[in-house]
Chains A and B, each alone.
Chain A
């Protein structure tokens, strides 16, 4: 039964309120203005017969005489192989000029979470040919990792490069508040990289209504989940999750919720987690790996969005001055692959090189404060320079084993073996003669 009501009583922010009966929580509705324009909306609160709707296209120009038609089901996405190569908006409409998807199974978005006992321990290393990732914080299949970045850093370039080099079966891009030229950049990069035929894009541009932002991750992940169940290895790229969180803030303020921190709702952690936790390695099926850009307002990692994200995700890549910073970055799953599917000296090289680089930074600081340079300092300074050039520069594009060899070479050029803090049996085997 389709229920249609005329007349909206309250409009606050992007929330419209209507008196209606027999409505279920989370249900979808179509609101049609007297001028014929229509938009989707979702039920986000019910108080007896007063129903609050979150209006996807925003409430600008919405008339109190609009009609509201309830659809009896929550937000869904059509799932079929035909999605591949296609581009959709944040409410799931085609934006590539091709016809809408017909005759396909409708999937509820934001579905239940995976039973932990049906997950398996991630075990596949994804080589990106970026040494700062491959050696120091390797990406593992089914991992969820954000790229923490300030505005102006080449985060979308990095995201696209990983997307192209990671060899996934399916790539799903969720663009949230993208600038138009960023959208074009992704489309062209993927077309030129020859991966568009195994890519699905859900794109919300900065010019689109803010509520649609909230749907992009859910649409992208619902589609990813279906491909994953079919046995595909899916890579989901989301950019920018801070824009998503800002949309959450706007809606919660309009709903008069008590804000917890900088205006964000108290549920921010759970809201972000329910999206990131969709990353999974299914027992007996495929996987979902999620890489998401999180821009840090003012470069502040303690801002609620990067802060909550960091607690949810399995590490982060910290992009600073166009380099992946080794100190802030972390891959929590790295121990599952390091030395197990990668070379046995990997762990030792990784730890020693970072420790030595930390020491090099100390020496740099000391010298810049005008202190005397000891011979020890000089060796560390030399090491620091080589490290930045051979490893941190984002242009370096080498496979893991070559990067590890470069690591031994660099350490041997600067230090004696007993100075690097590596277990003896590994030193004996790998220290360059």
Chain B
């Protein structure tokens, strides 16, 4: 538990999860952490407004039983994340309490006022020094490493030190626990800093111990065809997935957490259902990570503040998640943060703003909503570290717009700052077209920005093919709309053919069966191969004698593409379907 700064106060008011405190001794700091003493329980809280001697605090726990006159102890420290080896595979609440350890102390329920160290203080880690006495190091420099699951967990020079420091001493390699001093640094003024494996960092402040930020130069491969091919996310980029309830946000997030090609995945379950986290908790340890051979849980950290947990901790949970991501980025790793859902986080801001009686903006969200959203997404990014290596934090947030209406403030604030938009459509999910990302409304800035990289990495004609397909899809949709007005008899046979092509691409490429082992995730090499064949079918000019003939032909062609999706790449069935498709294209080709 944190030390006490010597500042004290007493409770003078309670309104929901906001407690008003009169300071009786000492000074207060905005956003510092304080504890309200309720009988034997100490409830964690954060100062969110100071007016003279009066401080308003949001309490991270149920406020039942708090009385006027109760003592409040201030810590002088901002709300911080604990950063050390041992984070991987953990399941934390929004304040970084390990839920599995709380389990031992309590029964089924999360009793309030229980705080447990985020990192096991006893466990020994095998330390390999990477610096020698006399070396000059800056904040974030790699002083050594310990093996953590599949990664080399670098022991970083404290992220808060200013300027250059000199290494005074280093312990020899061997087993140490997280609080042991490993390295002593000395700055220009002659002050020494003892460095252990563990450091803390205020969650609302970005970690910036790197040389420069870079524009993404490759894709974060997710295994989801419609994302990777049509609306990709750059490594170190940002994306948002807004959608009405029931459109498949959660399933999509789970697929991303399972198949995305990142070193580390941080899942922030923010104000969502507990049940979703439970699936991850039970399934990930059983699933193999094809990249490392270990279990999926080994590369995953779950920050879990579900909808029934106290709302103030919900606000903290996303910051905790992104801070841990930035920490691993400093080690030159590739981290993906999945935040589900940023709307619940925004609602937590709204609830507190209401209790503070601030002047409300649109839909009662606070006026600072946009800047907070922008700050959050801006913490993602590809960076070049002082060592010259790169690391990335990619952030994908879901948004749960009220009424499924994308005009609402949270969606709009998010769209201004992200690089890709994967809009889920109710219509598509009603028709069971999953993932229900709308191929006409969604967009990604990365295809254009990374054009040369993609053509070099994937296929020389990759972007050109995608542009053709996108326009073919739009044309197909236009014809579809026309048909609802003039009927099938009102359009030409060539238009019908274009319409059916769009339909085929949608059904057999954009849609993906999340519950089939083969189809659930498509590696990028396969996407390139499958898309090229699809592109060939779409660009071929077929001739038909009548419309039923056209429908029949495309039904068979579509079925062949569709069945191929279920066959492992390179298997004999897969090759058979490829051959069959080539034959059908050749037989119908009249150009």
Contact (Cβ within 8 A) A25 B432? no
Interface-side segment among B8-16, B115-123, B291-299: B8-16
Contact (Cβ within 8 A) A25 B67? yes
Within 8 Å of chain A (Cβ to Cβ): is B570? no
Point out the residues of chain A lying under 8 angstroms from B566, CB to CB: 423
Contact (Cβ within 8 A) B99 A312? no
Contact (Cβ within 8 A) A277 B347? no
Within 8 Å of chain A (Cβ to Cβ): is B80? no
Point out the residues of chain B lying under 8 angstroms from A307, CB to CB: 245, 402-404
Contact (Cβ within 8 A) A116 B274? yes
Complex interface residues of chain B between 344 and 371 (CB less than 8 A to chain A):
344, 347, 350-351, 354, 357, 360, 363-365
Contact (Cβ within 8 A) A113 B109? yes
Q: How far is the CB of B163 from chain A (nearest CB, A)?
A: 43
Q: How far is the CB of A147 from chain B (nearest CB, A)?
A: 14
Within 8 Å of chain A (Cβ to Cβ): is B489? yes
Which of A48, A112, A365 meets B68, CB within 8 Å? A48
Which of A270, A347, A369 meets B311, CB within 8 Å? A270
Within 8 Å of chain B (Cβ to Cβ): is A302? yes
Contact (Cβ within 8 A) A119 B278? yes
Which of A25, A283, A369 meets B65, CB within 8 Å? A25
Interface-side segment among B100-108, B192-200, B330-338: B100-108
Contact (Cβ within 8 A) B309 A113? yes
Which of B13, B64, B277, B489 meets A372, CB within 8 Å? B489
Contact (Cβ within 8 A) B363 A261? yes
Which of A21, A49, A327 meets B430, CB within 8 Å? A327
Contact (Cβ within 8 A) B109 A115? yes
A314 vs B405: C-alpha distance in the bound complex, in angstroms?
A: 20
A118 vs B101: C-alpha distance in the bound complex, in angstroms?
A: 11
In the complex with contacts A117-B91, A117-B100, A258-B354, A26-B245 CB distance below 8 A: no
In the complex with contacts A266-B351, A274-B307, A302-B403, A119-B274 CB distance below 8 A: yes
Complex interface residues of chain B between 544 and 568 (CB less than 8 A to chain A):
547-548, 551, 555-556, 559, 562-563, 566
Contact (Cβ within 8 A) A26 B360? no
Which of B63, B110, B245, B357 meets A310, CB within 8 Å? B245
Instruction: Report how many residues on chain B are interfacial, defined by Cβ distance under 8 Å.
Output: 79
In the complex with contacts A22-B67, A277-B274, A267-B311 CB distance below 8 A: yes
In the complex with contacts A366-B487, A374-B488, A115-B273 CB distance below 8 A: no
Within 8 Å of chain A (Cβ to Cβ): is B279? yes
A261 vs B405: C-alpha distance in the bound complex, in angstroms?
A: 13
Contact (Cβ within 8 A) B15 A49? no
Point out the residues of chain B lying under 8 angstroms from A333, CB to CB: 275
Point out the residues of chain B lying under 8 angstroms from A274, CB to CB: 307-308
Contact (Cβ within 8 A) B430 A421? no
A338 vs B107: C-alpha distance in the bound complex, in angstroms?
A: 32
Q: Mark B508-539, 1 if CB is under 8 A from A, else 0.
A: 00000001000000000000000000000000
Within 8 Å of chain B (Cβ to Cβ): is A114? yes
Contact (Cβ within 8 A) B68 A49? yes
Contact (Cβ within 8 A) A113 B548? no
Q: Which of A119, A276, A375 has the most CB of B within 10 A?
A: A119
Q: How far is the CB of A140 from chain B (nearest CB, A)?
A: 10
Within 8 Å of chain A (Cβ to Cβ): is B492? no
Within 8 Å of chain A (Cβ to Cβ): is B459? no
Contact (Cβ within 8 A) A229 B108? yes
Within 8 Å of chain A (Cβ to Cβ): is B587? no
Contact (Cβ within 8 A) B363 A24? no
Within 8 Å of chain B (Cβ to Cβ): is A409? no
Complex interface residues of chain A between 220 and 269 (CB less than 8 A to chain B):
229, 257-261, 265-267, 269
Contact (Cβ within 8 A) B351 A267? yes
In the complex with contacts A302-B403, A312-B307, A421-B559, A48-B275 CB distance below 8 A: no
A303 vs B488: C-alpha distance in the bound complex, in angstroms?
A: 37
Point out the residues of chain A lying under 8 angstroms from B278, CB to CB: 116, 119-121
Contact (Cβ within 8 A) A117 B99? yes
Q: Mark B240-271, 1 if CB is under 8 A from A, else 0.
A: 00001110001000000000000000000001
Within 8 Å of chain B (Cβ to Cβ): is A351? yes
Which of B67, B364, B555 meets A260, CB within 8 Å? B364
Measured CB to CB, the nearest residue on chain B to A47 is B13
Contact (Cβ within 8 A) B64 A121? no
Contact (Cβ within 8 A) B405 A117? no
Contact (Cβ within 8 A) B548 A376? yes
In the complex with contacts A266-B350, A285-B108, A335-B515, A114-B274 CB distance below 8 A: yes
Within 8 Å of chain A (Cβ to Cβ): is B484? yes
Contact (Cβ within 8 A) B110 A114? yes
Within 8 Å of chain A (Cβ to Cβ): is B441? no
In the complex with contacts A25-B67, A266-B364, A302-B403, A354-B432 CB distance below 8 A: yes
Within 8 Å of chain A (Cβ to Cβ): is B179? no
Measured CB to CB, the nearest residue on chain B to A328 is B430
Contact (Cβ within 8 A) B246 A116? no
Within 8 Å of chain A (Cβ to Cβ): is B56? no
Which of B68, B103, B273, B308 meets A46, CB within 8 Å? B68
Within 8 Å of chain A (Cβ to Cβ): is B66? yes
Within 8 Å of chain B (Cβ to Cβ): is A122? yes
A3 vs B371: C-alpha distance in the bound complex, in angstroms?
A: 48
Within 8 Å of chain B (Cβ to Cβ): is A102? no
Within 8 Å of chain B (Cβ to Cβ): is A37? no
Complex interface residues of chain A between 258 and 310 (CB less than 8 A to chain B):
258-261, 265-267, 269-270, 273-274, 276-278, 280, 282-283, 285, 302-304, 307-308, 310
Contact (Cβ within 8 A) A270 B347? yes
Contact (Cβ within 8 A) A312 B309? no
Q: Which of A269, A307, A316, A369 has the most CB of B within 10 A?
A: A269
A121 vs B432: C-alpha distance in the bound complex, in angstroms?
A: 24
Within 8 Å of chain B (Cβ to Cβ): is A332? yes
Q: How far is the CB of B562 from chain A (nearest CB, A)?
A: 7
Q: How far is the CB of B364 from chain A (nearest CB, A)?
A: 4
Within 8 Å of chain A (Cβ to Cβ): is B205? no
A273 vs B348: C-alpha distance in the bound complex, in angstroms?
A: 13
Within 8 Å of chain A (Cβ to Cβ): is B288? no
Contact (Cβ within 8 A) A347 B515? yes
Q: How far is the CB of B256 from chain A (nearest CB, A)?
A: 17
Point out the residues of chain A lying under 8 angstroms from B15, CB to CB: 45-47
Point out the residues of chain B lying under 8 angstroms from A371, CB to CB: 487-489
Contact (Cβ within 8 A) A48 B12? yes
Contact (Cβ within 8 A) B282 A302? no
Contact (Cβ within 8 A) B548 A114? no
A423 vs B309: C-alpha distance in the bound complex, in angstroms?
A: 42
A332 vs B274: C-alpha distance in the bound complex, in angstroms?
A: 13
Point out the residues of chain B lying under 8 angstroms from A376, CB to CB: 548, 551
Q: Mark A142-155, 1 if CB is under 8 A from B, else 0.
A: 10000000000000
Point out the residues of chain A lying under 8 angstroms from B404, CB to CB: 302, 307
A285 vs B108: C-alpha distance in the bound complex, in angstroms?
A: 10
Q: How far is the CB of B390 from chain A (nearest CB, A)?
A: 35
Contact (Cβ within 8 A) B103 A115? yes
Complex interface residues of chain A between 1 and 45 (CB less than 8 A to chain B):
21-27, 45
10 A-B pairs (CB sep. < 8 Å) = A24-B64, A25-B63, A45-B13, A46-B68, A113-B308, A115-B102, A116-B99, A274-B308, A332-B250, A375-B548
Cβ-closest 7 pairs across A and B: A302-B403, A273-B307, A371-B487, A277-B308, A310-B245, A26-B64, A260-B364
13 additional A-B pairs beyond A74-B65, A265-B354, beta carbons within 8 Å, are A25-B63, A46-B13, A112-B62, A112-B111, A113-B306, A269-B307, A278-B308, A285-B108, A302-B403, A302-B404, A304-B403, A358-B430, A374-B547
Interface on A for B, CB 8 Å cutoff? 21-27, 45-49, 74, 111-122, 142, 229, 257-261, 265-267, 269-270, 273-274, 276-278, 280, 282-283, 285, 302-304, 307-308, 310-312, 314-316, 327-328, 330, 332-333, 335, 347, 351, 354-355, 358, 365-366, 369, 371-372, 374-376, 418-419, 421, 423-424
Interface on B for A, CB 8 Å cutoff? 12-16, 20, 62-69, 91, 99-100, 102-103, 106-112, 244-246, 250, 271, 273-275, 277-279, 281-283, 304, 306-309, 311, 344, 347, 350-351, 354, 357, 360, 363-365, 400, 402-405, 430-432, 484, 487-489, 507, 515, 547-548, 551, 555-556, 559, 562-563, 566
